[in-house]
Structure 1
Amino acid sequence: MNTLSDLTLTSSGRDMSGWTKIRMTRGLERMVSDFDIEMTDGYSAFQHGLMIKPGDPCEIRLGGQLVITGYIDRVIPSIAAHRHAIRVTGRSKCEDLVDCGIDLLGSQISSASVLDVARLLSKPYGVTVNAADDSAKTTILRQQNVLFGETVFDVIERNCRFAGLLAYDRPDGSLLLSRVSDKNVGALDAQHVEQGWYEWSMDQRYSEYRAMAQSMSVLSDLGDGGGLIFKIPDPGVPRKRIHYIVAESNELSPLPDGSSIIQRRALWEAKRRLARSHILSLRVDTWLAPDGNLWEPNTQISVDPLALSGLKLEILKRPSNGWTIGEVTYLRDVDRGTTAILTLSLPDAYNVQPFNPYAQWADIQPGVPL
């Protein structure tokens, strides 16, 4: 693997390189991707400071590969006796979906797919929305009321949970709706690993998850369903630890497969907490994955066991080809040179919480199909 050599910021038709301090982060669960770069060379920093303005559109490339398309948020020039520097921070185009309210005539959307709603709400801010999974197109929202004060991403994220999807930004500034991917970008050779951290935890896991209907839920405690508890054990927890999940009224009705949202929530809770009890972080000496492209969130890598030999033996029991990249941070500074920090876990760590957007009386209205 070749180490990428430089970062280029393109803004106002100009390419600016020579940045001496770099930090860019992209992730599955962070909206949005962001960057923080600095230049300390006197003349170049002064010249770039005259060219860059907050709010300007920009593109960030590493060795020619696009990483972020977005906007400059802040420009911070500084001066000292023998130093002239400029620091620039910014985020992906999707920042407007996270920061801004909904620009929509009326407050109701009817008979639209999750993808249609995302595109409708994102269009005023110039953000393209794509889907990597058909459920974004086939999951139909019969009726949706959007609330003043909600951001665009508040609505998109909630709808994506209904369809079982993640929503995160891409290097071209677009928003992608996707499930956890099984795309494997190759095996990480031990020689590229400079440092590793393995977080093996138990404090967020429970021996039993109990999903319970509210006993005082109006019109939901009729019949034989009121107060029913679904129990899901985690045999890996060494002592008794009980966790209750109390259902909302719209989570109790049966779904087409015979389950309910509250059952799915309980199973999701157990699997997610188990997966997140095994977090592997690696500092590697390259911005490039084994396939020659930049490290990407929502891809999987295999890890050479030699790279883990100094960590706890428990990590060697995890599947070597099943590590999902949840977050990647590209770094450069004068002390460590070019590195990247990868945050890895098992795929279940990134599955989204099941959600039913329809408020209903559980024992009067039949289940809402997914």
Structure 2
Amino acid sequence: MAGTTSAAGNETLIIVGTGNVQNEAALAVRGVKITGWTEVQIRCGVEIMPWSADLIATEWQPGRATEVTVNEGDACQILIGSDPVITGYVTTVNREMTPDSHTIHVAVASKSIDLVESAAEIATYQLNSMNALAIIRKLAATAGISVYPVNGAGNVDIQIFSIILSETAYEAIERVCRLANCLFYDRPDGNITLAPVGTRIVPSAFAQGRNVEAARVRASQAGRFASIQAIIQTPLVLTQPPTSSDYVDQFTALTRPVSAVAYDRGITNTRPWRKMLLPIESGDDANYDYAKRRVQWESNRRYGRSQVIELTCDSWRDSSGALWSPNTVAQVSLPALKRDGIEWLIVELVFRRDEGGTLLISSEN
């Protein structure tokens, strides 16, 4: 995968690892650490919430004649070796028997599943004069989750922020992060990281002929726009019916385009008519500070999602022995795919083990 200079617009890298790994996956539940899973898939990333795991095995602890009981709703932890990866809950347990086998399939989700699936309920549905971090902490606290900022992420004052009655806590947090230009994602301990796009670089992370066994590059213009224009809608949009044959001009008159535009030069030179109007979530933006950050963030993210490398790596760990982690910048060398010596952001990882061996799937942009 390759990288860009824009903070939110790095391309996407997906890594899949095969071969030997230092340690095996385990499910810690009810005081028991269950290992020996025949199939493992652990998925995590900066745009994935909740992080999740699927484990398949017999219902007997390898090497022990004791039946292991795993029930839906159990608090649990997923580990690789001694390293925690996910802290959360068993969401689903499927048991199956045939004349020749007796298996169990366990699905696990991180604690943030309660933010994704539960309503955003706080004492007041309008928050005034708070910074983004404070708002996000208030929303996360409803599920007993703490928020840990990195490098000042979320230190952006928001004058007015209203919770939509029907939205989940995750949806409200996601809207705040758009205004604060930061990422929020799970931590192995079950809490949440709030961070800018990662700056920690793993040198010579993935290289053709060394630790990369397969790779695929995708470059696309889908979902990208030559320009993204911020607009502030007025109540007249909701109350005044169309009266003109020129609906475009009427809509423009009923909204307030502001001096906040982001450009994607890769589209501007070929299809300049591709434009997007983006309503700004904040109700108080006299200097258009939110609007400028918001449209640039949107343009960067759309570009980043359009430039992807997916690769299969031969290990779940980097050369230092640490597990690969999301929001890390990786140096990638894939000369056969014309991606050589460029830095890419790891946005998604899938640790996988099945009959085909042990795999690490990582997505970078």
Q: Secondary structure at the match of 1:122?
A: helix
Structure 1: segments with no counterpart, 5+ residues? 346-370
Matched with 1:53 is 71
Aligned partners of 2:102 and 2:64: how far apart in 1?
Answer: 7
Q: Quick one: distance in 1 between partners of 2:273 and 2:65? A: 61
Q: Encode CA deviations 1:64-108: one digit per residue, 9 max, x unaligned.
A: 111000000011111111111111001001111111113433433
Aligned residue-pair number: 329
Q: Which residue of 2 aligns with 1:64?
A: 82
1:210·1:242 contact (CA, 8 Å) conserved in 2?
Answer: no
Q: Of 196, 206, 216, which residue of structure 1 is paired with 2:215?
A: 196
Given the alignment, which residue of 104, 110, 115 partners 1:92? 110
1:21–1:186 Cα change, 3 Å: same
Which residue among 324, 327, 336 is the counterpart of 1:310?
Answer: 336
Relative to structure 1, the CA distance from residue 245 to residue 265 in structure 2 (aligned partners, 3 Å threshold; closer, same or farther) is farther
Q: 306, 318, 343: which one pairs with 2:363?
A: 343
Give the letter for the 2:27 counterpart. Answer: L
Residue in structure 2 matching 1:285, options 314, 320, 330: 314
Match of 1:81 in 2: 99
Q: AA paired with 1:339?
A: L
Q: Structure 1 residue 203: deviation in Å?
A: 3.9
Q: 1:159 to 1:323 in 2, by over 3 A?
A: same
Within-5 A mapping of 1:1-370? 3-40=21-58, 50-136=68-154, 138-188=155-205, 189-190=207-208, 191-206=210-225, 208-209=226-227, 211=229, 215-216=249-250, 232=263, 234-235=265-266, 239-248=270-279, 256=287, 264=293, 266-303=295-332, 305=333, 308-311=334-337, 313=338, 315-316=339-340, 320-335=341-356, 337-345=357-365
CA contact (8 A) 1:5 1:63 kept: yes
The answer to whether the 8 A contact 2:280-2:294 is kept is no
Amino acid in the other structure paired with 1:248? P
Contact preservation (8 Å) 2:20, 2:314 = no
Instruction: Give the deviation of 1:109 after TM superposition.
Output: 3.0
8 A Cα contact 2:60 2:67, kept in partner:
no
What's the CA shift for 1:266?
4.9
**Does the Cα contact within 8 Å between 2:260 and 2:295 map onto a contact in 1?**
no
Corresponding residue SS for 1:31: coil
- More relative contact order in 1 or in 2 (CA 8 Å, sep 6+)? 2
Check whether the contact 2:92–2:106 (CA below 8 A) recurs between aligned residues. yes
**Length-normalised TM-score, structure 1:** 0.78
Letter in 2 for 1:82: D
- Is the CA contact (8 Å cut-off) linking 1:59 and 1:69 kept in structure 2? yes
In the other structure, the counterpart of 2:241 is: none
Give the 3 Å change call, closer, same or farther, for CA 113–48 of structure 1 in structure 2.
Answer: farther
Indicate the RMSD between aligned Cα atoms, in angstroms: 3.3
Q: Report deviation, 1:282.
A: 0.7
- Counterpart CA distance in 2 for 1:209 and 1:92 is 37
Identity among equivalent positions (%) equals 26
Report the Cα distance in structure 1 between the residues aligned to 2:88 and 2:28, rounded to whole angstroms: 10
Distance in 2 separating the partners of 1:230 and 1:5: 49
Task: Name the CA shift for 1:109/1:178 in 2 (closer, same or farther; >3 Å).
Answer: same
2:358 maps to amino acid: T
Q: Which moved more, 1:50-59 or 1:105-114?
A: 105-114
1:211 to partner: Cα distance: 2.8
Q: State the shift of 1:57 in Å.
A: 0.5
Task: State the 1:158 CA deviation.
Answer: 1.1
Counterpart contact for 1:49–1:77, Cα < 8 Å: no
- Higher alpha-carbon deviation: 108-117 or 291-300: 108-117
Mapped contact 1:220–1:249 kept (Cα < 8 A): no
Say which SS state the counterpart of residue 51 (structure 1) adopts.
coil
| Alpha-carbon shift at residue 110 of structure 1 (Å) | 3.2
Do the aligned partners of 2:140 and 2:147 also contact (CA within 8 Å) in 1? yes
Q: 1:1-33: CA deviations, max 9, x gaps?
A: 972231111111111111110001101111110
How many Å separate the matches in 1 of 2:42 and 2:361?
10
- The CA deviation at 1:44 is 5.2
More deviation, 211-220/120-129: 211-220
Distance 1:106 1:46 in 2: 53
User: Post-superposition shift, 1:196?
Assistant: 0.5
CA distance 1:249–1:175, change in 2 (3 Å): closer
CA distance in 1, matches of 2:262, 2:348: 32
Considering fraction of residues, name the structure with more strand: 2
Question: Would the alpha carbon gap of residues 120 and 238 (structure 1) be closer, same or farther in structure 2, given more than 3 Å must change?
Answer: closer
How far apart are the structure 1 equivalents of 2:358 and 2:335?
24
Q: Which amino acid aligns with 2:215?
A: G
| Distance change (3 Å), C-alpha of 1:240 and 1:109 | closer
Q: Deviations over 1:304-328 (max 9, x none)?
A: x3xx2332x3x34xxx342100100
CA contact (8 A) 1:252 1:262 kept: no
Alpha carbons of structure 1 residues 288 and 157: separation in structure 2 relative to 1, 3 Å: same
Kept after mapping to 2: 8 A contact 1:37/1:87: yes
Alignment CA distance shift 1:66-1:249 (3 Å): closer
